[in-house]
Amino acid sequence: MNEQRRDILDMLAEGKITADEAERLITALERTQPPAGTPAVRPKYLRVVMEINDEGESGRLNVRIPLQLLRAGVQLVALVPPKALDRANVELDKAGVPLDLKQLKPEQLEALVEHLDEAIVEMDMEPDGHLRVFCE
């Protein structure tokens, strides 16, 4: 229970307000607050950060991709002719990227973004590397 709701119930218990007034206050409070579990701010970027220190050489990758760009890209896939998608899938497969562009749907991306909102993917790479993927 949040503090404001508890304050309203305390005022009711102390007789400072009536049950009807408490109900109206709680209803108004629920309208102004986002549902529990929803983020206060929607993420705007997908961030990929990778650091590698291998045999005296070091490298760093720091990519920040606007989620709007990803959303637009998924929607644009619907405009690509099926034969072109087939060829793109073959090339992706050759490059070791097991991704089927025909299967991408905007609602899947939205579900992914929702789940990534609170998730952080971190991976330690051998011998001295680190990968981190998150939304911000």
Residue 39 falls inside a structural domain: no
First to last CA, the chain: 27
What token pair was written down for 105? Answer: 């749907």
Dihedral sign, Cα of residue 5, residue 7, residue 8, residue 9: positive
For 22-76, the pLDDT digits (tens) are 888 888 777 766 555 555 567 788 788 888 777 777 788 788 888 888 777 777 7
Whole-number pLDDT of residue 1: 55
In this structure, the answer to whether residues 111 and 88 fall within a common structural domain is yes
Structure-token match 């905007």, residue found: 106
In this structure, the answer to whether residues 50 and 93 fall within a common structural domain is yes
In this structure, the answer to whether residues 22 and 81 fall within a common structural domain is no
In this structure, the answer to whether residues 51 and 72 fall within a common structural domain is yes
In this structure, the answer to whether residues 117 and 90 fall within a common structural domain is yes
The H or E element spanning position 12 is: helix 3-13
In this structure, the answer to whether residues 49 and 23 fall within a common structural domain is no
Strand pairing class (57-66; 45-54): antiparallel
In this structure, the answer to whether residues 116 and 67 fall within a common structural domain is yes
In this structure, the answer to whether residues 49 and 115 fall within a common structural domain is yes
Asked if 23 and 29 count as a contact pair (C-beta separation under 8 A), the reply is no
The number of domains in the chain is 2
Whole-number average pLDDT of the chain: 76
Q: How far is CA 14 from the centre of its chain?
A: 43
Residue 40 falls inside a structural domain: no
In this structure, the answer to whether residues 111 and 81 fall within a common structural domain is yes
Count the Cβ atoms, other than its own, within 10 Å of residue 8: 20
Asked if 53 and 128 count as a contact pair (C-beta separation under 8 A), the reply is yes
For 81-117, the pLDDT digits (tens) are 888 888 888 887 887 777 777 777 776 667 666 666 6
Q: Model-level pTM greater than 0.85? A: no
In this structure, the answer to whether residues 28 and 69 fall within a common structural domain is no
The H or E element spanning position 93 is: helix 82-94
In this structure, the answer to whether residues 54 and 121 fall within a common structural domain is yes
Residue 38 falls inside a structural domain: no
Range of the domain at 57: 45-135
